[in-house]
Amino acid sequence: MEDPYSSFKELAKKYGPVYSLKMGVQKMVVLCGYETMKEALVNHAEEFADRPALPVFLDIARGYGLIFSNGHNWRTLKRFTISTLRDFGMGKRTLEDKINEESNRLVETFKSYKGEPFDNKMIMNAAVSNIIVSIILGHRFDYDDPKLQRLLTIITDSARIAGSPMAQLYNAFPSLMRWIPGSHQTIRPSVDEIHSFIRKIFTKQKEQLDVNDRRSLIDCFLVRQKEEKPNPELYFHDENLTSLVADLFAAGMESTSTSLRWGLLLMMKYPDIQEKVQKEIEKVIGSAEPQLVHRQHMPYTDAVTHEILRFSLVTPFSTRQTTQDVTLKGFFIPKGTPIIVSLTSVLRDPKYFKKPYEFYPEHFLDSDGNFVKSEAFIPFSLGRRSCAGENLAKMELFFFFTKLLQNFTFKAPPGAKLDLNPIVGITLSPQNHEICAIPHN
pLDDT band of 22, cuts 50, 70, 90:
confident
pLDDT band of 8, cuts 50, 70, 90:
confident
Query: What pLDDT does residue 93 have?
Result: 64
In terms of DSSP bridges, do strands 408-411 and 436-439 run parallel, antiparallel, or are they unpaired? Answer: antiparallel
Give me the torsion for CA of 169, 172, 175, 181, rounded to 10°: 10
Query: What pLDDT does residue 2 have?
Result: 46
The mean of the pLDDT values for the chain is 90
Query: What pLDDT does residue 233 have?
Result: 66
Q: How far apart are CA 313 and CA 422, in angstroms?
A: 9
2-6, 76-80, 156-160 — which one is most confidently predicted on average? 76-80
Q: What's the pLDDT tens digit per position in 126-164? A: 999 999 988 888 888 999 999 889 988 888 888 888 777
235 closest CA partner among 28, 105, 77, 369: 77
Q: How far apart are CA 208 and CA 213, in angstroms?
A: 10
Query: What pLDDT does residue 232 have?
Result: 59
Q: How far apart are CA 79 and CA 75, in angstroms?
A: 6
Tell whether the model's pLDDT for residue 366 goes beyond 90.
yes
Query: What pLDDT does residue 208 have?
Result: 83
Q: What's the pLDDT tens digit per position in 171-224? A: 777 777 788 888 878 888 888 888 898 888 888 888 888 888 888 899 999 999
The mean per-residue pLDDT over the stretch 280-309 comes to 96
The mean per-residue pLDDT over the stretch 35-49 comes to 95
Higher pLDDT, 166 or 287: 287
Q: How far apart are CA 197 and CA 153, in angstroms?
A: 14
What percentage of the chain carries pLDDT values higher than 70?
Answer: 97
- Domain ranges for the chain, please list them: 6-439
Q: What's the pLDDT tens digit per position in 83-113? A: 998 887 655 567 888 899 999 999 999 999 9
DSSP bridge pairs for 23 = 26
Tell whether the model's pLDDT for residue 1 goes beyond 50.
no
So what CATH class is 6-439? mainly alpha
Query: What pLDDT does residue 3 have?
Result: 52
The mean per-residue pLDDT over the stretch 343-366 comes to 96
What percentage of the chain carries pLDDT values higher than 90?
Answer: 58
Q: What's the pLDDT tens digit per position in 401-431? A: 999 999 999 999 999 999 999 988 788 999 9
Q: What's the pLDDT tens digit per position in 310-352? A: 999 999 989 999 999 999 999 999 999 999 999 999 999 999 9
